[in-house]
Amino acid sequence: MKKLVSLWLCLLTLSFTAYANDLPNFVDIVKEHGASVVNISTTQLIKAQNQFNGMPDIPDQEMFDFFHHFMPQLPQAPNNGNGEIPLHSSGSGFIISSDGYILTNAHVVEGADEVTVKLTDRREFKAKIIGSDTRSDIALIKINATNLPVAPIGNPQQLQVGEWVIAIGSPFGFENSVTAGIVSAKGRSLPDENYVPFIQTDVAVNPGNSGGPLFNMKGQVVGINSQIFSRSGGYMGVSFAIPIDVAMQVADQLKAYGTVKRGRLGLVVQEVSAGTARAFGMAKPEGALVSQVDSKGPAAQAGIKPGDVILKFNGEAVNRSIDLPRLVANAKPGSTARIEIWRNRKPLVVTAVLGEVPARKTVQGKTATSAIAPDKIGLIVSDLPHREQSGTDGILVERSDNAAANAGIIAGDIILGVDNTPVHSVAQFNALLSRLAKNSTLALLIKRGKTTLYIPLQAD
């Protein structure tokens, strides 16, 4: 009997050992490349009378409301005596060159008056913002240092769903924390994110992980942790990373020009469904269905019409509608593009001279907005850049806090009106707010994606 028990225990031990040996081991990756990950802290000076009151609870809204950048607001410091209060935030980043260039998220350094980088050896450096691109959420910063450890860059195109990946960052300020998971999906399209085919993972990321690297099992960076899906503001099992090839293309332009130049066709597209494909006489659902064309844009001048299906752009297949904005954006403005389309049940080729997507102006590393602090209802807003959204009027919500956030207004919303008054500019919007009585209730007409709705809120 004792021999049988001993044999059983031996077999159990061997089985457990074999199982343990099959589990991934991240120790070597962290030892070798952990030092290339940095903590980034920022300071922004805001007017004392308009200070933030902390992060609001996330309202329970439709699914696309829950995609959030996840950089926390840390406790505020006392008034500096100049009528300003320093607002401190933190995030993550990683070194891409030994002479001090660092990649992070644009929202980590947005609006910062001072950026500090802390290395794993506890050295701290003041960083300069080389450039920031809000459309891809990528920023390039630089510190004056040499012989720094560099994170190796991988190829996200080779990533497979189900593959193990790890994140290193500073969640809640806990520097160089390591979490692991798998690739859940690739090429995800998020609301109002047209240029980035996100990598979805189940790696635990939280406030402070923004800008940190996503490593594959070869110890190569394949993405930058950027957003989460959450009803609570914290990790809920779904996180998103910007593919590193997209980030490096942006970084190269930021380093060379300080901004990003993107090609523009001037049209709106949607997915091709199975029913649409049958109706159009297509063998299978593929491509990007043109639903709207800017009458003065490059697409219109090339003869592209609503109802056309774009199948290829410069020889690259457009399998889904999300592929087209990325391909067009990566093309050089002013270049001639060869576009294969499906029209009247047959293929057709047209050429278009690409325009340029207007860049959002920046001043000393700050995104140019109408104000540096929330207004009386808790909003930071800006005029729509060249009214790109198919001629849509209104103003863009850059940030939502306090009463506005509690009412359910989120960054990316477009404010079309206050009560029954249409809004055309930030100046007009501020003028309307200035006439509000204290504790009055107003209704904001909001455009969110393809939905238009009224949101009531009470002004302070």
Name the helix (H) or strand (E) containing 307. none
424 is catalytic: no
CA-wise closest residue to 141 among 118, 172, 164, 157: 118
pLDDT at 127 over 90: yes
Catalytic member of 36, 69, 137, 400 = 137
Catalytic member of 36, 89, 90, 107 = 107
Asked if residues 366 and 382 have their Cβ atoms less than 8 Å apart, the reply is no
Q: What's the confidence (pLDDT) of residue 40?
A: 95
pLDDT at 436 over 80: no
Mean pLDDT of the chain: 81
Confidence of residue 363 (pLDDT cuts 50, 70, 90): very low
**pLDDT tens string 449-458:** 767 777 777 6
Q: How far apart are CA 18 and CA 83, in angstroms?
A: 64
Residue 111's alpha-carbon distances to 46, 95, 135, 188, 277, in angstroms, are 10, 22, 15, 28, 46
Instruction: Give the range among 266-275, 333-342, 360-369 with minimum mean pLDDT.
Output: 360-369
Amino acid (1-letter code) at residue 200 = Q
Q: What's the confidence (pLDDT) of residue 235?
A: 78
| Average pLDDT score over residue span 34-39 | 96
Asked if residues 358 and 333 have their Cβ atoms less than 8 Å apart, the reply is no
107 is catalytic: yes
Name the helix (H) or strand (E) containing 223. strand 221-229
Confidence of residue 431 (pLDDT cuts 50, 70, 90): confident
Q: Which of 274-278, 393-397, 403-407, 418-422 ranks highest by mean pLDDT?
A: 274-278
| Average pLDDT score over residue span 174-178 | 92
Catalytic member of 184, 210, 239, 321 = 210
Angle, alpha carbons 161-165-168 (nearest 5°):
150
pLDDT at 193 over 80: no
Q: What's the confidence (pLDDT) of residue 159?
A: 95
Q: Which fold has domain 369-458?
A: Pdz3 Domain (2.30.42)
Q: How far apart are CA 236 and CA 82, in angstroms?
A: 41
Q: What's the confidence (pLDDT) of residue 448?
A: 81
The number of angstroms, rounded, from the C-alpha of 414 to the middle of its chain's C-alpha atoms is 18
Same fold yes or no, 32-260 and 369-458: no
pLDDT at 389 over 60: no
| Average pLDDT score over residue span 177-188 | 94
**pLDDT tens string 72-126:** 444 444 555 556 677 788 899 999 999 999 999 999 998 889 999 999 999 999 9
Q: How far apart are CA 230 and CA 58, in angstroms?
A: 8
Asked if residues 405 and 81 have their Cβ atoms less than 8 Å apart, the reply is no
The DSSP bridge partners found for residue 91 are 40
Instruction: Give the range among 223-232, 278-287, 335-344 with minimum mean pLDDT.
Output: 223-232
Q: What's the confidence (pLDDT) of residue 443?
A: 75
Q: Which CATH architecture has domain 263-356?
A: Roll (2.30)
| 115: three-class secondary structure by DSSP | strand
Q: Which fold has domain 32-260?
A: Thrombin, subunit H (2.40.10)
User: In sequence order, which residues have a C-beta less than 8 Å from that of residue 154 and are 6 or more positions away?
Assistant: 215, 216, 218, 220, 221, 222, 244
Confidence of residue 378 (pLDDT cuts 50, 70, 90): confident
Confidence of residue 406 (pLDDT cuts 50, 70, 90): confident
Give the number of other CB atoms < 10 A from CB of residue 433.
Answer: 15
Q: What's the confidence (pLDDT) of residue 387?
A: 47
Strand-strand pairing, 316-317 and 336-343: unpaired
Write a three-state SS string for 26-44.
Answer: CHHHHHHHHHHEEEEEEEE
Angle, alpha carbons 307-311-314 (nearest 5°):
125
pLDDT at 252 over 60: yes
Q: How far apart are CA 71 and CA 378, in angstroms?
A: 18
The residues spanned by each domain of the chain are 32-260, 263-356, 369-458
Q: How far apart are CA 373 and CA 344, in angstroms?
A: 53
CA-wise closest residue to 214 among 199, 229, 194, 195: 199
Asked if residues 228 and 235 have their Cβ atoms less than 8 Å apart, the reply is yes
